[in-house]
Chains A and B, each alone.
Chain A
Amino acid sequence: MAVKVSMKVNGKPVSADVEARTLLVTFIREHLRLTGTHVGCDTAQCGACTVHMNGKAVKSCSMLAMQAEGADILTIEGLAKADGTLHPMQAAFKEHHGLQCGFCTPGMVMNAVDFAARHPNASEQEVREALDGNLCRCTGYHNIVKSIVAGSKAMAGAK
C-alpha cells in the first residue's frame, strides 16, 4: 500500500509516496540518500540509527516513516553549520578520539546531543547510563564518554 509521507528533515520539507511498511531509517537512507544514519543491529539494541524527532532521540529502525508524519527530523548531516563548522559535540568526539571505526558514531552523537541538552552538567556515570541504548563494537566507550562529558560542557558554554 503506497501512502504519502511528509516531514521536515534537517530543516527542509520533504515528502514522498512510500510503501506504508517503510521504516523511518529506510526513508532517510534510501529515499533521501542521507546515509550518515546507520543500520547496525536492526533490532533496536545498537542505536546506530538514532535521529531526533521533534528534538528527542529515537531509533529510526524501530518506527515507520509514517510515524514521523509532520515531524521535525534531525540527522547527523544536519548537525554541523552550513559552513562546515562542527557542532560542539562533534568537535568533542574529534578532540577526544571518541570514535574508532566510526560506525556507531552518528547514533552516539545524536543521542549525546539530546542528552546533553537536557542534562547540561551530567556526571561520567550519568553519561554511561544514558548510553544504554547505543553499542560500540570496537568497545571504545571510554573515549566516547570523555567526548560526551566535554561536548556537554561545550554545548552549555555555547548557549
Chain B
Amino acid sequence: MHAFNYHRPSNVNDAAALAAKSADSKLLAGGQSLVQAMKLRLAAPTDIVDLGMVKDLAGIKSDGKTVTIGAMTRHAEVTGSAEVKKAIPALAVLAGMIGDRQVRNMGTLGGSLANSDPAADYPAAVLGLGATITTTKGTHAADKFFKGLYETALRPGEIITSVSFPIPKRAGYMKFKNQASRFAIVGVFVADMGNGVRVAVTGAGPCVLRLAEMEKALGAKFAPESVAGLKVKSDGLNSDLHASAEYRAHLITVMAKRAVEAAMK
C-alpha cells in the first residue's frame, strides 16, 4: 500500500471539506473494498478521510412509509435489525448475503453505494426499491445515481449521509454468488411497490440496471411464471472468467423467477 495522509474528522462538514481539498482523496467508510484496493495498489489516494468517528451517520429509522438507514450502518446491523426485517424483509436478507460475517461487521451501506462495484448487492436494493440517497449536497434518486462501472452521480467531496427506502408491498432478492468472493455473478431484486413493479439486476452489467420488460410482465401479473419465459439479451452484459454474457443473461431470468417466489412467501 502506498503512503497517504490520514484524517479523522468528527463531523460530516469537516469530512466533506477535507475530502474536497485534495483531488486524489478517498473517503474511508468500512474499508472492505477500499483497503483491499489500496493493498493491490489499484487505488493510491494521497489522502484518506476516515468517516469512522463522524457522528450521526449510522442508525436505522422507520416511519411506516420508508426505512431510512444511515450511510455508516454496517451490513450486520441491517440484516439483524428487527425494524428492517418487519418493514422490508428482502433488504435484511440482501444485507445478510453480502460477503461473509466478518465483512458484514465492517462494511457499510454508504461505502457500498459510493463504490458502485458492478457485482455489489446493495445497489440492487437501492435501484429495485427506488430509494433516495441523501448526501451532504442534496439528494439523488436511485434511477439517476448509478452511472457506470464504479461511477456514480457523487461529486468530489460529496458524502452520502443516509438512504431512504420506500416500503414495498412485497419484495424479494436472489443471487447466484461467486463462491470465492461471495459477490453476485447475477443478483435480482424484485419489488412490488403497489403502484408498479421494479426489477433491478446487479452483477450482470457495468453497474446495476433495470429490466423494463420484466417490470411490465410482473406489473400485469406478479407471479414467477410471468418472468420464467422471458429471455434476456446478452448484449452489453459482462463476460469474464466467472461467467459468459450468455450465461449471465440466462441467470437473470432464473434469479428473477426465484426472487418473485421469495417475495410471494
Chain A residues engaging chain B, CB cutoff 8 angstroms = 1, 3, 19-21, 23, 42-45, 47, 50, 53, 56-59, 62-64, 66-67, 69, 111, 114-115, 130, 132-134
CA distance A121 to B76 in the complex (A): 19
Cβ B8 vs Cβ A21 within 8 A: no
CA distance A45 to B103 in the complex (A): 10
Chain B residues engaging chain A, CB cutoff 8 angstroms = 1-6, 8, 28, 31-32, 35-36, 38-39, 48, 50, 52-53, 76, 99-103, 105-106, 180-182
Q: What are 13 contact pairs spanning A and B, CB under 8 A? A: A21-B4, A42-B39, A45-B180, A58-B106, A62-B36, A62-B102, A63-B31, A64-B31, A64-B48, A67-B52, A130-B101, A133-B182, A134-B100
Cβ A62 vs Cβ B31 within 8 A: yes
- A150 CB → nearest B CB, Å: 20
CA distance A64 to B182 in the complex (A): 22
Known: A63-B35, A64-B31. 11 other contacts (CB 8 A): A1-B4, A21-B3, A44-B32, A47-B102, A62-B32, A62-B35, A64-B48, A64-B50, A66-B8, A69-B8, A132-B100
Given A21-B4, A44-B32: A56 and B100 interface contact (C-beta under 8 Å): no
Selected from B4, B31, B32, the residue in CB contact (under 8 A) with A20 is B4
Cβ A47 vs Cβ B31 within 8 A: no
Cβ A57 vs Cβ B101 within 8 A: yes
Residues of A within 8 A of B102 (CB): 47, 50, 57-59, 62, 111, 133
Residues of A within 8 A of B50 (CB): 64, 66-67
Instruction: Identify which of A3, A43, A64 gathers the most chain B CB atoms within 10 Å of its CB.
Output: A64
Residues of B within 8 A of A115 (CB): 101
Residues of B within 8 A of A3 (CB): 6
CA distance A45 to B108 in the complex (A): 18
Instruction: Identify which of B32, B38, B52 gathers the most chain A CB atoms within 10 Å of its CB.
Output: B52
